[in-house]
Structure formats: C-alpha cells, structure tokens
Structure 1
Amino acid sequence: MLLRLGSRNFYRTVSVFQRQAHTDIKCPDFSEYRRNSAKDPTVKSSTTEDSRKLLSYAISATLTTVSLYAIKGELIRDAMVFMPAANVLAEAQIEIKLSDIPEDKNATFKWRGKPLFVWHRPERVIRQARAVPLSALRDPQTDEKRVKDPKWLVVLGICTHLGCVPIAHEGDFGGYYCPCHGSHFDGSGRVRKGPAPTNMEVPHYDIVGDTLTVG
C-alpha cells in the first residue's frame, strides 16, 4: 500500500513540474515572416491559393528563361569552336575558267586540301575511253556516267590504293600513272592495272557555260 501511494505521489509531482515548465515557455510569433496574404492564421489556405501559385509560376518562368538563355549561349559557343576555319570554308567551293585550259592539258588545282585534276580531253581520248567494254574494267563504270561534258574529265588527283598523287598522261592506258605502287588509270580515270581497287573519285561539280564549279 505504501509503495502504491508513493508511486502515485511521484507521478503527481512530475506532472506538476511538467505543466509549470510548459507554461513558462512562450510560443514564438512568426507573424513577421508570414506573407501578407497569410498574416491571419485563422484564414484557410485555399483562399490565398491563387496568389501563392502566381508567385510560384513567376519564379519558375524566370528560372526557365534564364536557363534557356544559358543553354543557347553554350550551344553558340560550341558551334563557334567546331566551325571550320575561314580558309577551309573558302576552299569548300571553287570556280575554274575552262577557257584557260588548252586541249589535252591536265590542269591541277587545290580543293579542300586535295589535288583536283581537270583534263581537257581531245577527241581521240574520248573515243578510246568510250570504246572500253565494262567486262574489262575492275570497277565497271561507263565514261558517260563519269563526265558531264565529254571534253572535260574532273577527278580527285589521288590514287585509290594508298593516296599517292598520280602522274597525268602516263601509264599503259594514256591516262594517269601512280609512281608509288604502279597503278594505271585510263583516259576516264578508271583503274586498269595495279593494286588500286577502285576508279579515281569524281567530285560533285557543275559546268555552266565556260565556268566549272566544284563543290
């Protein structure tokens, strides 16, 4: 009995101390930090929902706009870094006056860092190139498909074997001869003999009047 009475008195004393401790501490007032639309704590939050959403939307729109402008600036900067140099762009397309190249002359030009051969072919070379049967060619192509004007052969001056520069008007077929490994090309730039696997490349070009435009 004494034990139970003692326990009851102990808990009663503790509860008294707890009430006194809590009543001595004042609850902080955060009214100064509340939004104007929520100063009154008794007002429901649904009544200020529109104004609070408007502020959130405005902040989100501002951050999105700033981010987009930052991304745009970074993309422009990267594009400027990877853009070809001015001298490369200048060589991307060249124009050649064909009247300056006499008949049977193989003129050499620089285009995109590569040699470009322009051959003013005489009639006999045209006839020889078009008389070759496709069965005799390693890389079958007719002369008609390789030229836009029979008088003009336009090819990259690079051997398709290992990239050497062939010599014009040389070789067993009167076209080009590669001195590095002995590849022979005919008057249409087609491989006829040696290790070259394919014909000399024909770049994209147009002939308008007296002007050849390559590129």
Structure 2
Amino acid sequence: MSVQDTAEPSRRDFLYIATGAVGAVGAVTLAWPFIDQMNPDAATLALAAIDVDVSQIAVGQSIVAKWRGKPVEIRQRTEAEVLAAKDASLDELKDPIARNANLPGDAPAIDANRAAPDREQWLVMVQVCTHLGCIPLGQSGAYDGWFCPCHGSVYDTAGRIRSGPAPENMAIPPFEFTSDTTVRIG
C-alpha cells in the first residue's frame, strides 16, 4: 500500500472540488433563463379559459371573444338558421366530421354536434377559415353562414364548409355553459 492511498486530501484536491462545484452552479445559473423561457407566457396561461357573458346577445346576433389568440364567435342563431343547419344532410357536406373538441373525433357533423348541448340556438366556434387561417365574414355567402373573401370558402349556419377550398369545418373549442348567461371557453 502506498502513502498516497492513505493520505489526507490535499489543498489541491479541495480546489478541484470547489472549482467543479462553482462551475456546476454557474452552468445551471446560466442555463436556467433558457430553460425557463420555454414555459408558457403568463398571458397564455391567463387565457387558458375565459368566461363570456352572453346575456346581451339578441337572437340573430353574435359577439367575438378572444381565446388563446383566436377569435371565437358566439352566436345566438335564429330559428331559420337552426332549421337550415338541421336540414343539411351529411351527403351535402364537404367535411362530414363535427370538429367539436367536446365530442369524440369521429362525431358526425350534424347540427346537434356543432351547437351547444341543450341550447341548439347557440353556436360557439373558432372563426378561422380552415384553408389559410383567414377570418370569414359572418352572415354572408350562399348559406347565410360565413364567407371567406380571400379564397371563396363558404360555410353554413353551423360553421360547416359547403364550398370552396377549405378542407374542414370551422373548429368548435372546448366550452360549457356555466349558467344561463355565461359560457366558459377552454
């Protein structure tokens, strides 16, 4: 057995360990801002869910709320709009899938799967054209729903694509009515 194996740690050994520890702490301190910036922005977290008062929306009118940076249209449809949406058969639709985040992914695009449950006059929908992300104009087009003037996509009164280059129906975000006058989106 040599003398070095049983010797006490030297000052040099202490300096190596201390330098390594300071270097490790410095590396973590330097890396933390880069790691932390990958977390969601506070504004994003704040908009994870929003409550919207719908008491002032008259029949045939709509409002647009901003949720996660997207326009969400909340519309109280007229009886004629509801009937027109119900009368459309799945064979007439370009996209037969409901695209409703509240339902299974393969739910058919019938009006009941696009409107609010037990409140068929209410439509809560992300108002973004599924072709190139434009904002369609409401209550226009051949079906009196939405029309995207950029490329000519036409949506019906349930936000389902009927003609034009858009491949899918406009999305229904996760939402629920928390009272008769308040809808929570997100």
Band the TM-score falls in, shorter-chain normalisation = 0.7 to 0.9
1:213 counterpart letter in structure 2 = R
Structure 2 runs not aligned, ≥5 long:
7-20, 97-108
Tell me the equivalent position of 1:156.
126
What is the TM-score of this pair, normalised by structure 1?
Answer: 0.64
Distance in 2 (CA, whole Å) between partners of 1:79 and 1:91 is: 22
Q: Identity across aligned pairs (percent)?
A: 36
How far the C-alpha of 1:193 sits from its partner, in A, is 1.1
Matches within 5 A, 1:87-166: 87-140=43-96, 141-149=109-117, 150-166=120-136
What is the TM-score of this pair, normalised by structure 2?
Answer: 0.74
Distance in 1 (CA, whole Å) between partners of 2:127 and 2:169 is: 11
SS at the partner of 1:153?
Answer: strand
Tell me the equivalent position of 1:13.
none
Distance in 1 (CA, whole Å) between partners of 2:89 and 2:129 is: 22
Q: Which has the higher strand share?
A: 2
SS at the partner of 1:212?
Answer: strand
Structure number, greater radius of gyration: 1
SS at the partner of 2:168?
Answer: coil
1:197 aligns with 2:167: yes
> Taking CA–CA contacts closer than 8 Å with sequence separation of 6 or more, which of the two structures ends up with the larger relative contact order?
2
Distance in 1 (CA, whole Å) between partners of 2:23 and 2:85 is: 63
Tell me the equivalent position of 2:104.
none
Q: Which has the higher helix share?
A: 1
Distance in 2 (CA, whole Å) between partners of 1:194 and 1:154 is: 22
How far the C-alpha of 1:68 sits from its partner, in A, is 10
RMSD: 3.0
Deviations 1:86-128 (A, max 9, x none): 2222222211011121111121122211111111112221111
Deviations 1:59-78 (A, max 9, x none): xxxxxx99998998788655
Tell me the equivalent position of 2:178.
208
Tell me the equivalent position of 1:7.
none
Structure 1 runs not aligned, ≥5 long:
1-43, 50-64
